[in-house]
């Protein structure tokens, strides 16, 4: 133990003797680790941020839809009575922050010769206060959504700036919507532009928002009916567990679509919707899906990001390894006499090799440590910059800020890879140094 | 004598008034609608034709779509095969019983659609090329006499029997001297005029009379209109294999 400590001290002294070289080699390692840690950190928070932002767009973490099938095989989405659905939420004591009730249609919005296809989501503006905090209005006010026309309809609509520009429509102007009722019949809505929202343009354009009562009227749903119940939980991490429990209870009480029927590589929500295409039933049948089901592809993106980070790490370190091998070969030639002296004084071959390898290991660990500190500082600085809720990459941010989540296991793995590769790079020169006959070394 | 005079007057009055009373009786619109359907439907033979669909939209170039229609009304079957434009060539709509499928040769996938879907990007719907079914889909709500151009017409308001049809309310201008529709107005569920369909030219195909030219005017978007022109109409027997997914896949390759 004492000998090892001594060897460590000698290794540290050797590194200290060539400060510039140590700094450059350690710096290269640190640079690699910084880049990889930043990517890992970004990927780590990617799922959480995207999930949270999507939960705001979709208005929930767990979703329940009522589907009826007519005699001729057509589907009608409708939740006519949500007593049981809400009862289960209460009975299960689910950690819920908010419950949303929404209906929507996709149709053509028409304004003075221009026509564009758009999904219009009906929102209960009296209840869904949180949407006002999330939706960035560039023009107009949310209060406009509460105004009624002469028929008593709340027919305000909020369009994204992209759609408003495409239609060339301005605040207060009348927009026609050609759409279909839940039975598939043609219907016409008449909206007034109440607001223009920021369009992040990422992951597709956002929906237009209108009042639930008017959307229901156009869909021929009754005032208290709606199409999708969205349940917001207190924590994203609880989604799967709570959804499973909710589904178990729901399936005991009402007719439900089976979950997890997707084939390899298939999106779970798509599989759920296909069931409705293929099967027949009478009355209302409920389908339950979660935000994780909707975003199942996001996990794939994270896997890709982490895979890319690993490839970057390996490529960087293969380059660094070449540098380390050459440097240690140089070190060996520089220290030939020193090695000869040590060997003449009785130092064993193994210890000479261990000394070289320890130098490489300490260099690697120093670089890793420095790289992690630099990465930490960069993350800290980046996470303090407010990019705004209307940022082009808002979907990747948390409330307008970058966030990073670095998993200790991933850091340990990266450090292990770096240490392993550095030791491997130094192995041949160190072995050469160890095998050098002391007489030849002293004569050199 | 007095009795004879009264009897004569009564007989004379009945003789004069009876035709007036008969003439004032409502036309039997149920049978008129059935006749309209019968005239346009091919229950005893197959029907095929090529339709050229020209769509105009304000600020956009005219779009021309050409499609071949195959119909076997006896079995509620139709197939619409897109011939033009080249980018959409091979796409098709196939109805077998209640199911309507859309085939895209690019993805090589069939998607479920409905008879109420629009054909490509036009205002024409699959239903516009399918068999007529006014009598089974609608009930007559009211009617009046009128003129359209130089024709005496019945203007008949229809209401859908169920929500299975695209338009909840329809107004028809039916020629009085010949049971054909000259004009049609289609209304939304909330009673808004959505499109006006004009039938300026008909063609006799076998024993049937079907529109040769149809003009669809979009009443929601000013300047948007679609014109359908039928050519190469025939009642020759169509092979059974045409009304199948395999046929669509084969001809699209």
Flag whether pLDDT at B2 surpasses 60.
no
What is the pairing mode between strands A208-211 and A114-123?
A: parallel
**Cα–Cα dist B17/A343, whole Å:** 140
The pLDDT tens digits of the residues spanning A310-340 come to: 788 788 778 877 887 888 778 777 777 777 7
Task: Tell me what pLDDT residue A221 has.
Answer: 95
Whether B97 contacts chain A with CB within 8 A: no
Query: Does residue B51 register a pLDDT over 80?
Result: yes
Of the candidates A128, A110, A272, the residue with the CA atom closest to the CA atom of residue A193: A110
**What are the pLDDT digits (tens) for B225-244?**
999 999 999 999 999 999 99
Containing A233, the helix (H) or strand (E) segment is strand A228-233
pLDDT over threshold 80, residue B154: yes
B-chain residues near A180 (CB < 8 A): 116
B224 touches chain A (CB under 8 A): yes
Q: Which helix (H) or strand (E) holds A355?
A: helix A349-384
Domains and CATH numbers, chain B: 35-252 (2.50.20.10)
From CA B253, how far away is CA B248, in angstroms rounded?
9
Quick one: closest CA in B to A184, which residue? Answer: B166
- pLDDT at position A405: 84
Report pLDDT digits (tens) over A334-387: 777 777 787 777 778 888 788 888 888 888 899 999 999 999 999 999 888 887
> What ipTM is given for this predicted complex?
0.80
Cβ neighbours of B167 in A, within 8 Å: 185-186
Please indicate whether, in this complex, the C-beta atoms of A218 and B190 are within 8 angstroms of each other: yes
For chain B, where are the E strands, in sequence order? 47-56, 63-72, 77-84, 92-96, 99-104, 109-113, 138-148, 151-160, 169-175, 181-187, 193-205, 208-218, 225-234
At A247-287, the pLDDT tens digits run 999 999 999 998 877 777 678 888 888 888 778 888 899 99
Q: Contact B220/A176, CB-based, under 8 Å? A: yes
Report pLDDT for B214: 94
Question: Which residues between 130 and 189 in chain A have a beta carbon less than 8 angstroms from any beta carbon of chain B?
Answer: 176, 178, 180-181, 183-188
In chain B, what residues touch A74 (CB-CB under 8 Å)? 114
Phi, psi angle pair for A434, to nearest 5°: -70, -35
Q: What is the pLDDT of residue A294?
A: 82
Q: Quick check: A142 and A125 in contact, CB under 8 A?
A: yes
SS3 A302: helix
The pLDDT of residue A327 is 81
Task: Give the burial class of B35: count Cβ atoms within 10 A of its Cβ; 0-12 exposed, 13-18 middle, 19 or more buried.
Answer: middle
Q: What is the mean pLDDT of chain A?
A: 85
| Residue B121 contacts A, CB cutoff 8 Å | no
Contact A115 B188 (CB under 8 A): no
**Over pLDDT 70: what percentage of chain B?**
88
Tokens of A288: 């339950």
CA atoms of A163 and A208, how far apart (whole Å): 9
Quote the mean pLDDT of chain B: 86
**Chain A, nearest residue to B224 by Cα:** A113
The tokens describing A167, both together, are 């239609």
The SS3 assignment for B42 reads coil
pLDDT in the model for residue A426: 82
Per-residue confidence band for B9, with pLDDT thresholds at 50, 70 and 90: low
pTM value > 0.80: no
Q: What pLDDT is attached to residue B17? A: 47
Say if the Cβ atoms of B57 and A115 lie within 8 Å: yes
| pLDDT-derived band at B20, boundaries 50, 70, 90 | very low
User: A407 is written with which tokens?
Assistant: 């998993």
Question: How far apart, in whole angstroms, are the C-alpha atoms of residue A159 and residue A219?
Answer: 19
Q: Per the CB < 8 Å rule, is A176 touching B221?
A: yes
Does B220 contact chain A (CB < 8 Å)?
A: yes
∠ Cα B154 B157 B161 (to 5°): 135
Residue of B58, B114, B194 lying closest to A113 (CB–CB)? B58
Q: Which residue has the higher pLDDT, A150 or B127?
A: A150
Residue, of B170 and A5, whose pLDDT is higher:
B170
Is B75 touching A (CB cutoff 8 A)? no
- Please say whether the beta carbons of B137 and B159 come within 8 A: no
CA distance B42 to B213: 18
Chain-chain contact of A188 with B188 (C-beta, under 8 angstroms):
yes
Please give the pLDDT value at position B21: 45
Min mean pLDDT across A101-110, A407-416, B119-128, B205-214 is at B119-128
Provide mean pLDDT across the span B109-119: 76
Name the residue in chain A with its Cα closest to that of B225.
A113
Question: Is the pLDDT reported for residue B19 higher than 50?
Answer: no
> What is the tens place of the pLDDT at every residue in A103-113?
999 999 999 88
Rounded distance between C-alpha atoms, residue A55 and residue A239, angstroms: 11
pLDDT band at residue B12, thresholds of 50, 70 and 90? low
Among B112, B197, B130, B208, CA closest to A276 = B112
Residues of chain A with pLDDT under 70: 1, 200-206, 265, 298, 389-392, 395, 441, 443-444
- Whether chain A has a CB inside 8 Å of the CB on B236: the answer is no
């Amino acid at each position: 133990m004492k000998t090892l400590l001594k060897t460590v001290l000698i290794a540290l002294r050797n590194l200290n003797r060539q400060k510039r070289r140590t700094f450059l080699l350690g710096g290269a390692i640190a640079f690699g680790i910084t880049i990889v840690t930043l990517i890992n950190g970004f990927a780590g928070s990617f799922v959480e941020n995207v999930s949270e932002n999507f939960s705001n767009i979709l208005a929930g973490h767990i979703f329940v839809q009522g589907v009826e099938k007519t005699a001729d095989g057509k589907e009608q989405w409708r939740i006519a009575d949500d007593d049981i659905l809400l009862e289960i939420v209460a009975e299960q004591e689910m950690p819920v922050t908010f419950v949303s009730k929404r209906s929507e249609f996709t149709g053509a919005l028409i304004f003075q010769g221009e026509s564009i296809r758009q999904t219009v989501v009906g929102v209960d503006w009296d209840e869904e206060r949180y949407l006002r905090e999330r939706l960035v209005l560039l023009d107009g006010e949310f209060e406009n959504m509460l105004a009624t026309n002469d028929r008593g309809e709340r027919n305000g609509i909020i369009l994204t700036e992209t759609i408003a520009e495409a239609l060339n429509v301005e605040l207060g102007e009348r927009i026609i919507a050609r759409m279909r009722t839940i039975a598939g019949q043609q219907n016409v809505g008449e909206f007034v532009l109440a607001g223009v929202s920021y369009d992040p343009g990422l992951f597709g354009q956002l929906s237009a928002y209108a009042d639930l009562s008017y959307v229901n009227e156009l869909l021929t749903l009754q005032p208290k009916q709606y199409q999708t119940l969205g349940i917001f939980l207190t924590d994203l991490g609880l989604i799967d567990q709570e959804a499973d429990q909710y589904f178990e209870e729901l399936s005991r009480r009402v007719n439900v679509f089976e979950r997890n029927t997707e084939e390899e590589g298939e999106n779970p929500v798509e599989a759920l919707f296909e069931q409705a295409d293929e099967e027949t039933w009478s009355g209302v049948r409920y389908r339950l899906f979660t935000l994780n089901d909707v975003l199942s592809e996001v996990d794939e993106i994270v896997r890709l990001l982490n895979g890319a980070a690993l490839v970057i790490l390996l490529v960087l370190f293969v380059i660094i390894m070449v540098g380390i091998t050459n440097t240690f070969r140089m070190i060996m030639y520089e220290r030939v006499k020193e090695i000869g002296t040590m060997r003449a004084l009785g130092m064993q071959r193994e210890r000479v090799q261990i000394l070289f390898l320890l130098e490489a290991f300490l260099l690697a660990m120093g670089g890793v440590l420095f790289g992690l500190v630099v990465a930490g500082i960069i993350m800290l600085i980046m996470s303090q910059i407010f990019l705004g809720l209307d940022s082009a990459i808002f979907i990747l941010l948390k409330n307008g800020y970058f966030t990073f989540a670095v998993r200790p296991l991933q850091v340990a793995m990266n450090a292990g890879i770096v240490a392993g590769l550095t030791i491997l790079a130094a192995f041949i020169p160190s072995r050469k140094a160890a095998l050098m006959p002391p007489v030849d070394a002293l004569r050199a | 004598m007095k009795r004879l005079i009264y009897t004569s007057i009564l007989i004379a009055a009945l003789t004069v008034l009876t035709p007036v009373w008969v003439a004032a009786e409502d036309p039997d619109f149920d049978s008129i609608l059935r006749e309209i359907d019968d005239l346009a439907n091919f229950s005893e033979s197959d029907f095929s034709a090529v339709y050229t669909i020209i769509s105009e939209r304000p600020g956009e170039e005219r779009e021309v779509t050409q499609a071949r229609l195959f119909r076997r009304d006896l079995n509620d079957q139709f197939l619409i095969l897109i011939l033009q434009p080249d980018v959409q060539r091979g796409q098709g709509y196939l109805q077998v019983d209640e199911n309507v499928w859309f085939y895209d040769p690019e993805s090589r996938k069939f998607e479920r659609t409905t008879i109420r879907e629009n054909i490509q990007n036009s205002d024409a719907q699959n239903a516009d090329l399918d068999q007529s079914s006014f009598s089974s889909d609608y009930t007559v709500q009211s009617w009046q006499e009128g003129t359209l151009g130089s024709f005496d017409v019945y203007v008949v308001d229809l209401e859908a029997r169920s929500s299975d049809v695209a338009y909840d309310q329809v107004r028809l201008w039916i020629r009085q001297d010949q049971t054909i529709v000259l004009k049609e107005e289609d209304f939304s569920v909330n009673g808004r005029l959505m499109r006006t369909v004009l039938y300026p030219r008909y063609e006799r195909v076998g024993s049937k009379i079907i529109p040769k030219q149809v003009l669809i005017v979009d009443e929601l978007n000013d300047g948007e209109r679609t014109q359908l022109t039928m050519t190469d109409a025939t009642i020759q027997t169509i092979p059974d294999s045409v009304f199948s997914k395999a046929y669509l896949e084969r001809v699209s390759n």
